[in-house]
Amino acid sequence: MVLPKHAYFQGKIVPYSKAKVGVLTHALNYGTAAFAGLRAYWNELEKQLFIFRAPDHYRRFLNSAKILCMQLDHTPEILTQITVDLLRVDDYHQDIYIRPLAYKSDEIIGVKLHGLHEELSICALPFERYLDDDTNAHVTISSWRRVDDNIIPARGKISGAYANSAFIKTDANRAGFDEALVLTQEGHISEGSAMNFFMIRDGVLITPPITENILEGITRRSVIELARAELNLNTLERQVDRTEVYLCDELFLTGTAAQITAVTRVDYRPVGDGKMGPFTAHLYSLFQDILRGRVPKYKHWLTPVYEKS
Ligand code: PMP
């Protein structure tokens, strides 16, 4: 991966090499940071870069920061504008990933959330695929459990909690799987290491509710809306048992990085007939078109970066 060109750091846009923190920084030692992950897509025809649902990502980002007792005095709209300004300076003409971070910046010893300062950084870098083949993923059920709301709230995108995701991902990859599903403490399906879970069983689209220790995904919310509006499919938000995953007809994961990723095998068992199913395929291609600004009806989800004369 190449490094970002610039970063928004301590209130200004600077070369990325100048966006540095000391090793004693609180967030680096104790995981006391909140982050977001957005993507922007290059549309060659329009010569435009579109950020997907930026204000929604920033609303969640501010909520994550709030859970960590941070007082950021930015609105989602201001954060979106800073991102646009940064991307204009970067001048990317390709798909990119954007990483905002709000972190406890004090260089002190002491585990706590209160009485500390916070800083905001944003940087962006070129990014294409997250999984090698997002139409044909093989996943396992992780032996790790999802962090619980009363341990580290998964609802917030809290840096420290991503050690949990890293355990899940590494063990899955080392065992030869593309990704893993992770169970709650009670043994129900929560989500993937960094993506939300959907399955279709007997014609019903099902996803775990937000009380199952999931991140409240922006892609998840978009898929629920698209399924209803474009596929006439209502989503049932309910607990999902492990063995339902073995019996479902279609399964896919959603996330900013993973977009819509079709899962075709779980622990060597085929999902449906072992190929990406028709509903998933429909959502997959519709979503690709929406992300690149090719569907006028959903252009309100996109923030264009470059000014057009
Ligand atoms: N769950 C987790 C744990 C994640 O890190 C992500 C990625 N942000 C998601 C789900 C998907 O969320 P979104 O669609 O907002 O990217």
Tens digits of residue pLDDT in 277-286: 999 999 999 9
Judge if the beta carbon of residue 219 lies within 6 A of ligand 1: yes
Are residues 93 and 42 in contact, defined by beta-carbon separation less than 8 angstroms? yes
pLDDT at 1 over 90: no
pLDDT at 309 over 70: no
**Which whole number is the average pLDDT over 29-48?**
97
**Strand partners for 13:** 8
**Which whole number is the average pLDDT over 16-26?**
98
Judge if the beta carbon of residue 215 lies within 6 A of ligand 1: yes
**Which whole number is the average pLDDT over 23-52?**
98
Q: Which of 215, 216, 301 to mutate to test the pocket of ligand 1 (most atoms within 8 A of CB)?
A: 215
Query: 20: how many CB neighbours lie within 10 A of its CB?
Result: 10
**Which whole number is the average pLDDT over 255-284?**
97
Query: Closest ligand 1 atom to the C-alpha of 165?
Result: 3
Judge if the beta carbon of residue 194 lies within 6 A of ligand 1: yes
DSSP 8-state class, residue 3: P
User: What's the predicted TM-score (pTM) here?
Assistant: 0.97
pLDDT tens profile 131-151? 888 999 999 999 999 999 999
pLDDT at 73 over 80: yes
**Which whole number is the average pLDDT over 301-309?**
92
Mean pLDDT, the chain, rounded, equals 97
What is the model's pLDDT at position 276?
Answer: 97
Active site residue 112: no
DSSP 8-state class, residue 241: B
What is the model's pLDDT at position 128?
Answer: 83
pLDDT tens profile 194-248? 999 999 999 999 999 999 999 999 999 999 999 999 999 999 999 999 999 999 9
Using a CB cutoff of 8 Å and minimum separation of 24, what contacts does 267-270 make?
267/139, 267/140, 267/141, 268/138
Q: Which of 155, 213, 219 to mutate to test the pocket of ligand 1 (most atoms within 8 A of CB)?
A: 219
What is the model's pLDDT at position 25?
Answer: 98
Q: Which of 18, 157, 299, 308 is catalytic?
A: 157
Within 13 A of 7's CA, how many CA atoms are on the CB side?
A: 18
